[in-house]
Every structure is written in structure tokens, then in C-alpha cells.
Structure 1
Amino acid sequence: MWLLFAILSAVFAALTSILAKVGIDGVNSNLATAIRTVVVLAMAWGMVFLTNGLGGITEISRKSWMFLILSGLATGASWLFYYRALQMGEASKVVPIDKMSIVLTLVFAFVFLHETFTIKSAIGCILISAGTLVMCL
């Protein structure tokens, strides 16, 4: 089931980029990010209430709160930079560079989470990096 959700995530991420590129035309990139964030916020809380997930909020540890807040700050920074880049550049070039986050995630997971970095991981990182370079030249 995780694979289906991952595929749907990729489809909607692709749609996000295209829809944002069209929608950001003539709009301040920070304002566009704020509008997007309000919509995401409403959807996220809607799902919490729809699935009766609010009950677990009191069980969240301080450590989890801290890292969820830091993750939110990183997401906000990512979105602000992404929208600015998308406003200034072509989606076909901005998006591949943005997806270099895959390579960075693999490296960070190895360094900070002590996850296994295999030959397959290394080859994948090299191919993604090479593909990004080819697409952006």
C-alpha cells in the first residue's frame, strides 16, 4: 500500500509544480507560498478531524514536538525558496534541482540516522545527480 501512496505523492507533486508555475504568474512568491500554506493547513486539519486523529495530540513527546516543529520550519523554507525559484526559472529546470533532495535525503539518512548506504543507493544518487545535471544544462 505504501507504494500506491508514494506514486500518488509523485503525481500530485508533479501537478503542484505545474499548477504553481501557472498560478504564480504576476503574484509575489511569498504571498503565493502563504496562500498555498493556508490550503495545505486546511486540508491537513480536515484529515485529522475526518479520521478522528486529534486524540493522539496529548501523547506526542517533547522530542517529537521539537522535531515536527523543525520539520515544519524546513518545509516552510523549502516552499519559500521553491516558489521563488519557480517564479524566476523554468519549471522543467527548477523541479529537477528541487528533486536533488532525494540525494541529500539519502546522504542525511546515512549520516544522521545511520541508515544503510548500499551500492544501489550510491548508483541511484549518481544517476539522479547526472540526470539533474543533464536536464539543467
Structure 2
Amino acid sequence: MWKLYAVLSALFAALTAILAKLGIKGVDSNLATAIRTVVIVFLAWSVAFLSGGLNGISSLTKQNWIFLLSSGLATGLSWLFYYKAISLGPVSQVAPIDKSSIVITLILSFFVLGEQFSLKTLLAGLLISAGTFLMLWN
């Protein structure tokens, strides 16, 4: 089931890039990010409420809070920089650079989480890197 969710995530991430580029014309990138964030906050809290996820909030540890808040900060900074980049450049070039985060995630998962690379994972990471550079090569 996680693979279906991953595919849906990729689909909506692609839509995000296109819709954002269309919506950001003539709009300050920080304002656009703020508007997007309000929608996301409303959606996320609604889903958490409707699914009963709020019941677990009292069981969060200090470590949970630190890492979840840090993740939120990283997400916010990513969005701010992404919206600034697409406001200044072509989304067809910004998106591949943004998606190079996949390779950075692979590297961090190895060093921080101790996850192991298979030969297939290593090759895929190299191909993603090569594809990103190829798309940006003028």
C-alpha cells in the first residue's frame, strides 16, 4: 500500500509545481508560500481530526516534538526557496534540481539512519544525479 501512496505523492508533487507556477505570476513568492501553507495546515488538521489522529498528541515525547518541529522548519524553508526559484526560473529546470533531494535523502538515510544501499539503490541514485545534470546542461 505504501507504493500507491508514494505514487500519489509524486503525482500531487508534480501538480504542485505546475499549479504553483501558474498561480505565482505577479505574486510575491513569500505571499504565495504563506497562502499555500494555510491551505495545507487546514487540510492536515482536518485529516488528523477526522481520522482520530489527534488522540495520540498527548503521547508525543520531547524527542518527537523536537524532530517533528525541525522537520516542519525544514519543510517551510524548502517551500520558501522552491517558490522563490519557480518565480525566477523555469519550473522544468527548478523541479529536477528540487528532486535531487532524492539523492541527498539516500545519502542522509545511509549516514543518519544507518539504512543500507543495495546495488540497485546506488545505481538509481547515480542515474537520478546524471539525469538532473543532463537536464540542466545547456
- TM-score after normalising by structure 2: 0.97
Asked if 1:67 is matched to 2:67, the reply is yes
* Structure 1: gaps spanning 5 or more residues: none
Asked if 1:58 is matched to 2:58, the reply is yes
| Structure 2 residue matching 1:12: 3-state secondary structure | helix
Which residue does the alignment assign to 2:2? 2
Asked if 1:29 is matched to 2:29, the reply is yes
Letter in 1 for 2:131: G
Structure-to-structure mapping, 1:82-97, within 5 angstroms: 82-97=82-97
Identity among equivalent positions (%) equals 58
For 1:7-50, what per-residue CA distance to the aligned partner results, in whole angstroms no more than 9, with x for missing partners? 11111000000000000000000000000000000000000111
Hey, what's the Cα distance between the residues in 1 that align with 2:90 and 2:23?
A: 14
- TM-score after normalising by structure 1: 0.98
Hey, what's the Cα distance between the residues in 2 that align with 1:87 and 1:130?
A: 25
Letter in 1 for 2:10: A
Hey, what's the Cα distance between the residues in 2 that align with 1:131 and 1:101?
A: 13
Hey, what's the Cα distance between the residues in 1 that align with 2:11 and 2:106?
A: 21
Letter in 1 for 2:64: S
For 1:42-82, what per-residue CA distance to the aligned partner results, in whole angstroms no more than 9, with x for missing partners? 00000011111111000011101000000000000000000
Which residue does the alignment assign to 2:41? 41
Letter in 2 for 1:64: N
Hey, what's the Cα distance between the residues in 2 that align with 1:68 and 1:129?
A: 28
Hey, what's the Cα distance between the residues in 2 that align with 1:132 and 1:66?
A: 33
Which residue does the alignment assign to 1:133? 133
| Number of residue pairs the alignment of both structures matches | 137
| Structure 2 residue matching 1:107: 3-state secondary structure | helix
Hey, what's the Cα distance between the residues in 1 that align with 2:112 and 2:44?
A: 28
* Structure 2: gaps spanning 5 or more residues: none
